[in-house]
């Protein structure tokens, strides 16, 4: 019975309605065709969108137009100087710069015939090898490479102060040919920040109006974010504590009683602080030649006046009235007097923001990019540069940095003898 039914049905439908069947088939084909078109259109648009999105993203980062195509296929090594990153320091992009030839093009280096790599098998071919010296401690057992050929340049790179380089550098005597650090006397000088002139079109004209608004929200005096209290940088802790006896200092972080709301971590915390406070204590953990950190540079980016304590000659690279240097005062008490005075005199306090009308900041990431451009130039014009030979990196990095340690520092800062630590 069941078989009979099955055989009958199609026969009936074919016999009775042949035209309906062929219309139906045509209909299916048309539907498939339209679906195909739609799918192709979707795929095309998405691809295009993605391309534009990535492209735009790159341009935004660089705030300029891209010359050359960073998405071009990898170039041949030929003609490019090879820079080998021997180790990295835990950033997303190696050295916050990137790999290959593309970064040199993307960052608009004048000379860009260079490429970076992390591939140690390229050591024999590399023109320069960069060592992040602090990072070497973590794999100190590993054999450091020997120079593969006489022209190969070994580059000393670090972001840390000598106090935190954690390496007995005497072992590196006669090893490096170039230095790439924040020290001004480096072959490749890469400070943590830099003040540059604004182009005419970017000069801020209605600063006074902005400033008076800015002042109106600031009800507190000084904020200090610190999470290492006694162990390290004890002198800065003692200085801050002494200062707090004479003026309101709200201490944020592990060492204090204030904390940013959980939703306000990171930069949002800075925003909150700059809204409420007049001063930010940017005390460094080491007092060494030219050493500054984001404690200074980030504070300058916000509407805050940094009160600085460090080993750098701040007047050398910052405009007058953009910061307050602790070392210009005989003691914490004298500094407190001055901060009090400014806090109660908006006209004088706001003078510390006037520099922003005509000057602006460049950040370390951009400056490091300049550094890699410079390295590429150096590799292409060896006759113009003198490479170090038999370089005593320990003497240069550790001894010539003139780092101040506790006792000498306490004297410089005018801390009372009873607070001068053990």
Ligand X SMILES: *[C@@H]1O[C@H](CO)[C@@H](O)[C@H](O)[C@H]1NC(C)=O
Tell me if residue 126 falls in helix, strand or coil: coil
User: Which of 17, 21, 168, 345: binder of ligand X (CB under 6 A)?
Assistant: 168
Near ligand X by CB under 6 A: residue from 69, 118, 151, 185: 151
| C-beta of 245 vs 411, nearer to ligand X | 411
Binding of ligand X at residue 31 (CB under 6 A)?
no
For 183-338, where are the E strands, in sequence order? 188-189, 193-197, 220-225, 249-252, 277-283, 305-309, 324-325
Could you tell me if 258 and 250 are in contact, meaning their C-beta atoms sit under 8 angstroms apart?
yes
Confirm or reject binding of residue 347 to ligand X (CB under 6 A): yes
Q: Which is nearer to ligand X, 351 or 406 (CB)?
A: 351
Closest contact distance (angstroms) between CB of 178 and ligand X is: 9
Which residue is associated with the tokens 């939703």?
263
CA–CA distance, 361 with 308 (Å, rounded to integer): 17
Tokens describing residue 148: 């593969």
* 119 near ligand X, judged by CB under 6 A: no
CB 152 within 8 A of CB 122: no
Count of chain residues binding ligand X (CB under 6 A): 16
CB of residue 108 to ligand X, shortest distance in Å: 28
Smallest Cα–Cα separation from 86: which of 175, 14, 9, 195? 175
Judged by CB under 6 A, the residue of 170, 212, 365, 402 near ligand X is: 170
Of 104 and 176, which has the nearer Cβ to ligand X?
A: 176
Does 402 bind ligand X (CB under 6 A)? Our answer is no
As measured in angstroms, the least distance from the Cβ of 124 to ligand X is: 16
Residue 328 binds to ligand X (criterion: CB under 6 A): no
Q: Where are the beta strands (DSSP E) in 271-406?
A: 277-283, 305-309, 324-325, 359-363
Interface with ligand X includes 174 (CB under 6 A)?
A: yes
Distance CA 279, CA 158 (A): 30
Residue range at the interface with ligand X (CB under 6 A); choices 8-16, 149-157, 195-203, 239-247:
149-157
Reported as type and span, the H/E element at residue 81 is strand 81-85
Question: Does residue 171 touch ligand X according to CB under 6 A?
Answer: yes
Token pair listed for 139: 């794999």
Active-site residues, by number, are 160
Distance CA 221, CA 340 (A): 8
CB-nearer residue toward ligand X: 38 or 347: 347
Task: For residue 184, state whether it binds ligand X (rule: CB under 6 A).
Answer: no
What does the per-residue mask of binding to ligand X show for 274-313, with x meaning CB under 6 A? ---------------------------------------x
Residue 100's beta-bridge partner residues? 116
**Contact between 383 and ligand X (CB under 6 A)?**
no
Q: Which stretch binds ligand X (CB under 6 A): 20-28, 43-51, 168-176, 258-266?
A: 168-176
Helices (H), 87-221: 102-106, 133-136, 207-216
Q: Give the residues lining the site for ligand X (CB under 6 A).
A: 150-151, 153, 168, 170-171, 174, 177, 208, 313, 315-316, 347, 387, 389-390
């Amino acid at each position: 019975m069941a078989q009979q039914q099955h055989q009958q049905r199609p026969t009936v439908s074919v016999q009775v309605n042949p035209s309906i069947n062929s219309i139906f088939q045509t209909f299916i084909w048309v539907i498939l065709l339209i679906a195909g078109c739609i799918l192709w259109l979707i795929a095309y648009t998405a691809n295009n969108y993605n391309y534009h999105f990535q492209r735009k993203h790159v341009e935004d980062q660089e705030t300029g137009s891209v010359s050359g195509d960073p998405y071009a296929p990898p170039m041949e090594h030929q003609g490019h100087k090879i820079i080998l990153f021997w180790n990295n320091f835990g950033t997303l992009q190696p050295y916050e710069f990137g790999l290959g030839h593309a970064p040199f093009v993307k960052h608009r280096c004048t000379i860009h015939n260079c490429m970076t790599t992390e591939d140690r098998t390229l050591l024999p071919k590399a023109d320069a090898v960069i060592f992040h010296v602090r990072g070497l401690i973590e794999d100190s057992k590993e054999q450091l490479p020997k120079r593969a050929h006489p022209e190969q340049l070994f580059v000393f790179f670090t972001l840390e102060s000598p106090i935190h380089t954690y390496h007995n550098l005497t072992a590196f005597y006669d090893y490096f040919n170039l230095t790439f650090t924040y020290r001004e006397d480096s072959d490749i000088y890469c400070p943590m920040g830099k003040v540059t002139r604004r182009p005419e079109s970017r000069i801020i004209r209605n600063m006074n109006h902005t400033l008076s608004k800015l002042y109106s929200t600031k009800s507190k005096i000084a904020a200090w974010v610190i999470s290492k209290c006694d162990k390290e940088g004890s002198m800065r802790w003692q200085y801050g504590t002494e200062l707090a006896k004479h003026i309101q200092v709200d201490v944020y972080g592990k060492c204090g009683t204030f904390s940013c709301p959980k939703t306000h971590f990171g930069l949002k915390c800075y925003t909150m602080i700059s809204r409420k406070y007049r001063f930010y204590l940017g005390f460094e953990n080491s007092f060494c030649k030219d050493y500054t950190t984001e404690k200074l540079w980030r504070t300058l980016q916000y509407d805050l006046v940094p009160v600085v304590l460090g080993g750098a000659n701040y007047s050398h690279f910052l405009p007058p009235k953009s910061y307050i240097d602790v070392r210009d005062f005989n003691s914490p008490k004298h500094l407190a007097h001055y901060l009090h005075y400014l806090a109660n005199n908006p006209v004088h306090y706001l003078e510390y923001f006037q520099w922003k009308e005509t000057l602006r900041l460049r950040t370390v990431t951009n400056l490091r990019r300049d550094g890699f451009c410079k390295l590429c130039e150096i590799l292409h014009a060896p006759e113009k540069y003198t490479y170090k030979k038999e370089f005593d990196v320990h003497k240069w990095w550790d001894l010539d940095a003139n780092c101040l340690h506790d006792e000498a520092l306490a004297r410089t800062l005018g801390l009372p003898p009873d607070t001068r630590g053990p």
